[in-house]
Amino acid sequence: MAKDLIIVESPAKVKTIKKFLGNKYAVQASVGHIRDLPTHEIGVDEEHGFTPRYETIRGKEKVVKDLQDAAQKAETVYLAPDPDREGEAIAWHIAQVLKNKATSIKRIQFNEITARAVKNALEHPHEINTDLFCAQQARRVLDRLVGYKISPLLWKTVKRGISAGRVQSVALRLIVEREEERLAFAPQEFWTFKAHLAAAEPPVFQAELVKLDPAFIRESKTFAQGANKDKNAKKALIPNQEAAEQLEKAMKGKPFAVTAIEEKERSRNPMPPFTTSTLQQTANQRLGFTAKRTMSTAQKLYEGVELGEKGTTALITYMRTDSVRIADEAKKAACAYIGEKFGEKYLAPGKNGRSFHGKESAQDAHEAIRPVDINLTPQDAKPFLTQEQFRLYELIWRRFVASQMAAAQFFDTAVSLSCGPGQWKAKGERMLFAGWLAAMTRGTDDEDKLLPHLDQGQHVSLLKMEKEQKFTQPPSRYTEASLVRELEELGIGRPSTYATIISTIQDREYVRLEDKHFVPTDLGNVVCSQLREHFAKLMDVGFTAEMEDNLDKIADGKLAWVALMDEFAHEFNPTLAAASKNMARIKSGVATNVACPECGRPMVVKFGKSGEFLACTGYPECRHTTNFTRDEKGEIHPVSRPAEELKKVGTCPKCGGDVVLKRSHTGSRFLSCANYPKCDYAAPYSTGVPCPKCGNGFLVEKSSKRGKIFYSCDQYPKCDCAVWDWPVARPCPKCGSPILVIKTTRAKGRHLACPNIKCRYTQELDENT
């Protein structure tokens, strides 16, 4: 008897599903998309309804043939890619290549990879949602037209190999314009006062100056005109040192008296369980994960992890969702767990658990991100997970448990005090009941901030008064978390695309990370400037958000995708034609006010394969180049060549000259002939450690486009061995890995470790290392 065939996206899912379906079904993977638009041409017939021409993705020919062979043997083929637009498109394309091979093709979906969810899906198959597929197709065609038609203009005018994107370019604009705001910002001086006070009973507490007596301001000539005229002003405006010293003098020797005490109880409800966006934001803030790292780790937790005797087990529900809805069964399981582990008083009010309401624009097809089994605690799973899997699972698990718990209760105290012309405020907080916070890890900042017992009219003692000069700060640069939040609030892209958007603008070297904040590069500024000038509407935030709404309408069957394409092309094509004629060429470089130290001619910023650099405009007579940095004001500072570049390390095998050590623009060291450019000899900087994978090469120092150093086999691409840390030619005594690496962590400092992620062997560095 023929087996029914289930086709999923990833091989990891195959293993998980087979575990609980047994031999009744055949399960195979498409390994993602099997068809797409052609690579080297637009592949869209604009004259005939924007018909896309799809072809099998290179390297997927065998996957397609295996699926066709399996489909011919099956009674029914169940298409089970992920339950979203992208998954629907994968299912549609698989159906197209199987339609002449399979007897019956059905679509099934599940939000979690459990026996119950998969069996329930098999009992309720349905047809492919063509509206959902058309929404994905419209997005794909839109992005293809924008990318393939604008990118060549950037190649011609700026630098070959860069790209424009319908959504990525708007994300770049946000980063560029935030930097422009920062550069235009004029900081204003102000001063703050804090008082360390003591009452008859401990503890010592702090009060902050919040207001000044209007009469004092009127009589003073040192305060800015109009300062503190606003009766609702929360802060006292002290504009300069003279004003601060005058105020300090006016308060010196004056008593601090309690003028008012306000006490009240406050409740704080838990946050809803994670959506894709909030998971990316929180993982970035708490764990330091990039959006890409968060999504790839979550994907593994969703598809299944080997848990010893339990076998391959899915740990979380589907991780691409903007809904905060929770299934009733999951609520019941959470309530049972909370009641047993914490006690009944920690349960959220009501019989049916706590519900949350998301944004009106949220797609409610899937639940929020939650653990599949609430009873599988992070500590239980920890021995089987990588560190990043454990940390992300713990984050998801705790957030979900907390969402079904009672509110935390606090007792807040706000004390107003007076001293001379100053009005002061001290705040205290005391937790009465932890509620949902019992399930969360709390930092030192969350500890109770207590005030002593105080009575109205009471005088307290001044232990120390601190005044501090400060300056107003420009708007903060975007972090990954704040950029994701901004994209979501503006309706740009979708949470499932944020990781790709952020990776793309980094890979194209339009932005770089500086202390975890995005800074636009000169290349990013130039590209953004070109696009803002010549494609104003395409770069408009409102237009991009409106396009996302229209894609949602297509998915809901309220708008035809070809009609949307017609409307878009009607305006886009004339704009493109105008840009082709008018876009300025910047390939010769961006002008600077820096003079060449060798010939005195102006230098320009140029965009090379390894990043940005300064080059003399006197080329080829003068070949001087150098790296550079920009300060907070955007001013360029050439970087002098490091001393190690002048260090002789050998003799050139090509011309007999000196070989010196240099650094690439991205930071890795390499060997070069001192007679360059007359002699072009160059070689990578070798660690001297034989490659542990092929044994034919040596590990050499390299750097990524983003400047991260790593060590890879010099036989690449024949051998793809690479490690992130300095290798040591010493075998691991635990797993037998041919090498160890030198790592540095906060907990252990510098130490030896095994590069095999499944082996946790470490040892102290010795004198011979």
What is the number of other CB atoms lying within 10 angstroms of the CB of residue 613? 20
Is 137 buried (19+), middle (13-18) or exposed (0-12) by CB count in 10 A? buried
The rounded distance, in Å, linking the Cα atoms of 589 and 1 is: 70
For residue 228, the model assigns a pLDDT of: 46
Q: How far apart are CA 134 and CA 610, in angstroms?
A: 39
Quote the tokens at residue 601: 């001619």
Q: Kindly report the CA angle at 190 between 189 and 194, in degrees rounded to 5?
A: 150
CA distance 405 to 278: 19
- Report whether 418 contacts 424 (CB < 8 A): yes
Residue 579 has which token pair?
Answer: 């840009």
H-assigned helices in 386-511: 387-403, 480-490, 498-507
Question: What pLDDT does residue 444 have?
Answer: 47
Question: Which of 363, 362, 368 has the alpha carbon at shortest distance from 324?
Answer: 368
pLDDT of residue 769: 55
Residues whose CB is less than 8 angstroms from the CB of residue 598 and which lie 6 or more positions away in sequence, other chains included? 616, 622, 624
- Separation of alpha carbons 328 and 355, rounded Å: 10
The model's pTM is 0.80
Contacts of 221 (CB under 8 A, 6+ apart): none
Structure tokens that stand for 690 in this block: 């034989």
pLDDT digits (tens, 9 = 90+) for 58-97: 999 999 999 999 999 999 999 999 988 999 999 999 999 9
Write down the residue that tokens 């999923």 correspond to. 8
Report pLDDT for 370. 96
Helix (H, G, I), strand (E, B) or coil at 493: coil
Euclidean distance between CA atoms 329 and 353, whole angstroms: 10
Spatial contact of 246 and 222, defined as CB atoms under 8 Å apart = yes
Contact between residue 369 and residue 393 where contact means Cβ atoms under 8 Å apart: no
Place of tokens 């930071």: 667
Question: Catalytic residue numbers?
Answer: 318
Burial zone of 478 (CB within 10 Å; 0-12 exposed, 13-18 middle, 19+ buried): buried
Q: In a 3-state reduction of DSSP, which class is residue 335? A: helix
pLDDT, residue 235, reads 64
- pLDDT, tens digit (0-9, with 9 covering 90-100), for 293-332: 999 999 999 999 999 888 889 999 999 998 999 999 999 9
Q: Which pLDDT does position 610 carry in this prediction?
A: 67
Q: Quick one: pLDDT at residue 230?
A: 47
Three-class HEC string of 346-401:
HECCCCCCCCCCCCCCCCCCCCCECECCCCCCHHHHHHHCCHHHHHHHHHHHHHHH
Nearest partner of 614 among 633, 595, 599, 600, judged by Cα:
595
3-class secondary-structure state, position 427: strand
Instruction: Tell me if 486 sits within 8 A of 215, measured CB to CB.
Output: no
AA identity, residue 666: T
Name the β-bridge partners of 709: 703
Name the 3-class secondary structure at 26.
strand
3-state secondary structure of 567: helix
Q: How many whole angstroms separate alpha carbon 248 and alpha carbon 92?
A: 74
What pLDDT shows up at residue 641? 55
Give the N- to C-terminal CA distance of the chain in Å, as an integer.
Answer: 63
Taking a C-beta distance cutoff of 8 angstroms, is the pair 361, 552 a contact?
yes
Q: What angle do CA 355, 356, 358 make, to 5 degrees?
A: 150
Identify the pLDDT of residue 706: 65
- The CA angle 705-709-710, to the nearest 5 degrees, is 105
Query: For residues 549 and 134, what is the distance between their CA atoms, to the nearest angstrom?
Result: 14
- In three-state secondary structure terms, 646 is helix
Cβ(89)–Cβ(83) below 8 Å: no
Distance CA 604, CA 590 (A): 5
Please answer whether residues 484 and 291 qualify as being in contact, where contact means their C-beta atoms are separated by less than 8 angstroms: yes
Cα–Cα distance, 506 to 702 (Å, whole number): 18
Annotate 202-237 with three-state secondary structure: CCCEEEEEEEECHHHHHHCCCCCCCCCCCCCCCCCC
Q: What is the pLDDT of residue 644?
A: 45
Q: How long, in residues, is the chain?
A: 769
In 3D space, the residue among 747, 729, 748 whose CA is nearest the CA of residue 738 turns out to be: 729
Provide the pLDDT for residue 496.
86
Q: Which amino acid is at 57?
A: I
Distance in angstroms (rounded) separating the CA atoms of residues 570 and 262: 63
**Paired tokens of 136:** 């994905």
- Report d(CA 709, CA 666) in Å as an integer: 9
CA dist 459 → 195, 203, 213, 258, 666 (Å):
14, 15, 19, 6, 62
Dihedral angle of Cα 525, 530, 535, 540, to the nearest 10 degrees: 20
What CA–CA distance (Å, rounded) separates 552 from 561? Answer: 11
Cα–Cα distance measured from residue 647 to residue 640, given in angstroms and rounded to the nearest whole number: 15
Cis peptide before 677 (omega within 30 of 0): yes
Residues of the chain with pLDDT under 70: 1-2, 223-235, 358-365, 442-447, 610, 640-646, 665, 705-706, 746-747, 767-769
What is the sign, positive or negative, of the torsion defined by CA atoms of 287, 291, 295, 297? negative
Do residues 92 and 133 make contact, with C-beta atoms less than 8 angstroms apart?
A: yes
The answer to whether the CB of 294 falls within 8 A of the CB of 280 is: yes
- 3-state DSSP percent of the chain in helix, strand and coil, to 5: 35, 25, 40
15 membership: H or E segment, kind and range: helix 11-21
